[in-house]
Structure 1
Amino acid sequence: MKKLYATSNSSEMNTLQLVMQRHGIPVTVTERGGTLELWLIQHGYEALAQDVLRQFRDNPPTPESLPQQRPVSATRSLWHTLASQAGIVTFLVFIVVLLVYALQWFIAPEATLHALLVTPGGVPELHAGQPWRLVTPMLLHFSAMHLVFNLFWWWYLGGRVELTFSPWMLITVTLVTAIVSNYAQWAYSGPLFGGLSGVVYGLFGFAIVSAWGRRYSPLALPPALLVFMIGWLALGFTDLLMVNMANEAHLAGLLSGLLLGAVVRILKPHK
């Protein structure tokens, strides 16, 4: 995040925050030592935010002078909230996974599995002539709960990575962690597996390293989420859950995500 403005005047800060939000600029306010600080959440809005800030300084409005927003429906408000949390790559992968789920369960189950499993037809050996199969298992899901769980975390983590860095960064992290996690799972258990969870854990690891020591980073995750994700990973290696989990994919995804995060911290130390 980037600090845009600081003041001890709460009325001024409330008005400025409202102005920014009316322009669709994602901002948040924090307090430090009695001073209110306005932070820009997404770097892509910086030029617009600086322009709005200049106008605000030159001619500061009052809350009463601001035009009233027309009420929006709950559905539209929910869509606006979701859309503000993700970019085009996050959205496209989300839709593709849903379409694959429909094909896998309702339209062409055998053909879908044959096309997307890590090996064609589920044979034990990898097919060197079809390298994309190290990625495509991430599109398969074997229950509705499996699908919903992974898509939720994909939107939450993938959206943050895309908006903080770029669509290309999300694509890179997704492909690398998918390949590493799928290969690890194939090497341990064979070809009959699928799901986004290896990538999700890769994004999780990437976010941890990217936000480490940066209190106001957009990728900073709540402590409860850190405990849950690590706890879920650890539980997968026990017999307590009574379900089949791609534990090796989760662990390999996490480790590869941590490594990618470290590389990006070195190459982009101020991001």
Structure 2
Amino acid sequence: MSAVEAMRLPLSTDLAGFVGLLQRLNLPFRVSEEAGEQVLWVPDERFAEQVRELYRRYPEGDPQLVGRVEPGRRGGAFLQQVKASKATSAVLLVTFVVAALTLLGSNPDTLHWLTFQDFRLVGEDRVLFRPLADGLAAGQWWRLLTPMLIHFGWLHLAMNAMWYWELGRRIEYRQGGPMLLGLSLGFGLVSNVAQYLASGPSLFGGLSGVLYGLLGHCWIFQWLAPTPAYRLPKGVVGMMLIWLLVCLSGVIDLLGFGSIANGAHVGGLLAGCLSGLLGGLLARRRPA
């Protein structure tokens, strides 16, 4: 291949872990020794840029993408993943704290501070919502974002947390923690507003709108500017889109499994596709 020099390092540098990472990611490379240094070669400058970024973040190998963990060291490996995914872990920690404070959405005394609109209970089964404009006029702008942190039940929390851990780490690894936080807040805002416009005053919450945004971001970004971090397991995008269509059909509501925030899902997905489009196009414009 017509090789491009990606990195040049002293012979004393141990590249074993990093080389293992490149092998797991199926990145084409070779290492040679020249003038008393190790030189890592790749096919073109695009690969070289990815390799440099990988080495800057994880010179000893990426703990997120290690396929096998030695028995007895799984706990240590998980702590490494948490340390390497600080933004992802921080969002999940705040989500768990909110779940505890709201008793998974069952404690109205704390829940009403975080919902899109303030509310109060009238009797046993009637909810009276305060107009959104009144809340915003009172300076309660956080309500535009905080519904993303509310979850109703253990299953709701566990599923959303699992997918945020999977998708969030990929974006943090590829584009950094500030980008992940920015995307999460942006998708949260869009999905919350979309759900409000779709359903009117109602109790809704969860990270699922954000998750569809992260999915759309990875999907379109990977299509335009392929990167190992955004190479999702086969069938994931199709499965999530099929699930979205099933929810939109109303079948879930008819079966009595509860209301689905379809507006949040669609709004998040569209916002994610847009951010993935912009990010992918910018990545392609970088000099090759």
Structure 2 counterpart of 1:123? 129
1:183-211 per-position Cα deviation (integer Å, ceiling 9, x unaligned): 11112222310000000000000101111
Equivalent of 2:55 in 30, 41, 46: 46
| Counterpart position of 1:245 | 260
Q: 2: distance between equivalents of 1:4 and 1:144?
A: 50
RMSD: 3.6
**Cα deviations across residues 80-128 of structure 1 (Å, max 9, x unaligned)?**
4x437x5211111111111111111179922321110001226252122
Alpha-carbon distance change, 265 to 151 in structure 1, aligned in 2, over 3 angstroms: same
TM-score normalized with structure 1 length:
0.74
- CA drift at 1:20: 3.1
Q: 1:217 aligns with which of 224, 228, 249?
A: 228
Partner of 1:171: 181
SS at match of 1:204: helix
User: Which residue is 1:20 aligned to?
Assistant: 16
Q: Tell me the percent identity.
A: 31
Counting matched residue pairs gives 235
**Could you say which structure has the higher helix fraction?**
1
Deviations 1:107-157 (A, max 9, x none): 992232111000122625212232221110001000111000100111111
- Residue type of the partner of 1:193? F
1:259 counterpart (265, 271, 274): 274
Structure 2 unaligned residues grouped into runs of 5+: 7-13, 29-41, 62-69, 120-127
Match of 1:94 in 2: 92
Q: For 1:132-143, what aligned pairs fall within 5 Å after superposition?
A: 132-143=142-153
Q: Is the 1:25–1:49 Cα contact (8 Å) retained in structure 2? A: no
Query: TM-score scaled to structure 2, two decimals?
Result: 0.70
When structure 1 is superposed on structure 2, of 113-122 and 209-218 the one drifting more is 209-218
Q: Which runs of 5+ in 1 are unaligned?
A: 7-17, 53-69
Aligned to 1:155: 165
Alignment partners' CA distance in 2, 1:152 and 1:51: 26
Q: Secondary structure at the match of 2:23?
A: strand
